[in-house]
A and B are shown apart, each in its own frame.
Chain A
Amino acid sequence: MSRNNIWVHLTIALTLVLIAALVGGVRHWRRGPQRSSQPVSRPEPTPDSQENDADEQDDADKAEVLVRFRPGTTREAIDRIVAQFHDQVEDRIESVDGLDVIEDEDGKSAADVVAQYRALAEVEYAEANSEITLDHEDTGAKHVHANDEMFSRQWGLANNGANGGKAGADIRAMWAWAVTKGSDQIVVAVIDSGVDYTHPDLVRNIWTRPEIIKAYRDDDLTSAEGIDDVHGLNLVDDDGDPMDTNGHGTHCAGIIGAEGGNGFGIAGVNWSVKIMPLRFMDSDGAGTTRDAIEAVNYVIDRKRAGVNVRVISASWGSTARSRALEDVIRKAYDEGILFVAAAGNASTDNDQTPHYPSSYNLGNMVSVAALNRNDQLASFSNYGAKSVNVAAPGEEILSTWLDHGFSEKKGTSMATPFVAGVAALILSQNPKMSVDDLRAKLLKSVDPIDSLKGKVSSGGRINAAKAVGAE
């Protein structure tokens, strides 16, 4: 090797070392939530693996959570708790009493660390840190990246073009979240097969009847004392337990409001919301028109009793028209409740062959078609230039399922809760918005899509960011 060659090789070697150092540094600096694509449970690491993991962990892999301790918890007590959990206080948010940024030091996931702190009486709340970045187009608009483990598979919320999809063919949820992630003051009724209200990604966003609201009474269904509708109603068995035995309602509920930013599972359109489960379909996924009417009637009753239920998500239907169902949905309109309904899966034109309830021409009705991950109308989706209003993601949709699991499903059933979820996001900003304005806001904030011209009345896919004023 000549002297010149030695210098060339040395220069190359030094450059490579510098690049490696820079890459490592950037990774270290970009401390953000870590995601994986598959896990559906929260496995407890063994003591051995914890030790090994911790040894190998760099800062980028460490879970980071925001914990607010209750007033009266001393600094010493906080430090003791943090030390017991083998964590460390990374930062203190001085403007908010008791709010600390805590970093895990023993290899636990963000979800586990959050759960650990939430279990303590001294803790008011604990939540996983989220990454907020400037968008790639450098427009200055901010977006929020969910740290939920399977978020990368939720193309309907954030489509990066993976798996043959089209980048940007999504509802722009991350941009909307920079403005609002929802509110636990907004109640969305999911009239369906019930909801697994114990699912770990839903349990914190399930509606519970406040003590000041009296138990539900319906002389046709209940005893004189009423039904203990603690979380909703079960019209199949005429009781107060709306537990899902099919999975469909749990799936729809997760799209609307699986807890976001908890480092676990998926993110809902709303990170925070209250889901009111109603069960009128059985374990086969079918129910009677009468029970559907009773379910809407229940929602109206609860609204009148003081529950802030403003949206009904209805991922069901048939081609049989019922004047009684139409009447009760009209009554919901009078009460200021939006009714979001699936357009149907027969690949047919609802203007020619109506599908109900979505084809009722009512002021609170939003009929929803389904899109695939390429912004194309899904092959199964019904459409209708006059009678179907908007489209939303409805193929390969990952959401919560029975047995505390997750599953991918397709149908206008899945598109519907995306729209109901965006309606709830809008209401989280403006709780007093009228149902007419809410419907108009949803329809006017769509992204126009070529494949939807002449197929839906708005001509577009819902856009959560536009709907909440983030774009």
Chain B
Amino acid sequence: MGPNAQPVTAQALIQARSDLARRLGVDENEITEGLVEPAEFPDGALGAPVEDEMSAQVITPGWRIHLKANDKTYEYRASDRQLRLFSFNGENYRI
């Protein structure tokens, strides 16, 4: 976890690892943590809207969480309210 990570990120990180392991069908031990960095997202959907979703057009502070598995990097986006998976096989997911 990066130096800027807050407790809320720790919770998001646990949730993200679990989610990615389930999606990839791998053990959580096979997932490694990459960079966790603070970010500002363009909207209430953290710049990762799902289909048919409208979101508040307010700059939303949060974190980018990079996880690695099978030699690929996956990006999760977290705020103090929610967690999303960004562009997983071209789709966004609200976790």
Interface residues of A (CB under 8 A from B): 192-193, 246, 248, 251, 280-281, 283-290, 292, 315-320, 322, 342-346, 380, 409-414, 416
Does A413 lie within 8 Å of B54, measured CB to CB? no
Complex Cα distance A392/B55, Å?
20
Complex Cα distance A246/B57, Å?
13
Complex Cα distance A345/B82, Å?
19
Does A414 lie within 8 Å of B58, measured CB to CB? yes
- Contact among A288, A319, A322, A411 with B58 in the assembled complex (CB-CB below 8 Å): A411
Does B49 lie within 8 Å of A286, measured CB to CB? yes
In the assembled complex, 12 residue pairs joining A and B whose CB atoms fall closer than 8 Å, in A order, are A248-B58, A280-B54, A281-B56, A284-B44, A285-B45, A285-B60, A286-B49, A289-B54, A318-B55, A319-B49, A345-B42, A411-B42
Does B42 lie within 8 Å of A281, measured CB to CB? no
Does B54 lie within 8 Å of A344, measured CB to CB? no
Given contacts A343-B57, A346-B42, 5 further A-B contacts (CB under 8 A): A248-B44, A290-B52, A318-B49, A342-B57, A344-B57
Complex Cα distance A320/B60, Å?
20
Listed residue (B43, B82, B94) with the most chain A CB atoms within 10 angstroms of its CB? B43
Complex Cα distance A103/B44, Å?
46
Within 8 A of A (CB), among B32-79: 40, 42-45, 47, 49, 51-60, 79
Complex Cα distance A344/B54, Å?
11
The majority secondary structure among interface residues of chain B is loop
Interface residues of B (CB under 8 A from A): 40, 42-45, 47, 49, 51-60, 79, 81-82, 94
Known contacts A283-B81, A380-B59: A317-B42 contact under CB 8 Å: no
Complex Cα distance A414/B42, Å?
13
Does B56 lie within 8 Å of A286, measured CB to CB? yes
Residue of B nearest to A414 (CB): B58
Does B56 lie within 8 Å of A410, measured CB to CB? no
Does B59 lie within 8 Å of A316, measured CB to CB? no
Does A412 lie within 8 Å of B57, measured CB to CB? yes
Complex Cα distance A409/B61, Å?
10
- Determine the chain A residues whose CB is within 8 A of the CB of B42 once the complex forms: 344-346, 380, 411
- Determine the chain A residues whose CB is within 8 A of the CB of B54 once the complex forms: 280-281, 286-289, 292, 316-318
Residue of A nearest to B43 (CB): A345
Does A413 lie within 8 Å of B81, measured CB to CB? no
Does B57 lie within 8 Å of A289, measured CB to CB? no
Known contacts A283-B81, A345-B42: A409-B53 contact under CB 8 Å: no
Complex Cα distance A289/B45, Å?
14
- Determine the chain B residues whose CB is within 8 A of the CB of A319 once the complex forms: 49
Residue of A nearest to B51 (CB): A320
Does A315 lie within 8 Å of B58, measured CB to CB? yes
Question: Which 7 pairs, one residue from A and one from B, show the smallest C-beta to C-beta distance?
Answer: A285-B44, A345-B42, A285-B56, A411-B58, A342-B57, A413-B57, A413-B58
- Determine the chain B residues whose CB is within 8 A of the CB of A290 once the complex forms: 52
- Determine the chain B residues whose CB is within 8 A of the CB of A344 once the complex forms: 42-43, 57
Does B57 lie within 8 Å of A288, measured CB to CB? no
The minimal Cβ–Cβ distance linking B75 to chain A, given in whole angstroms, is 17
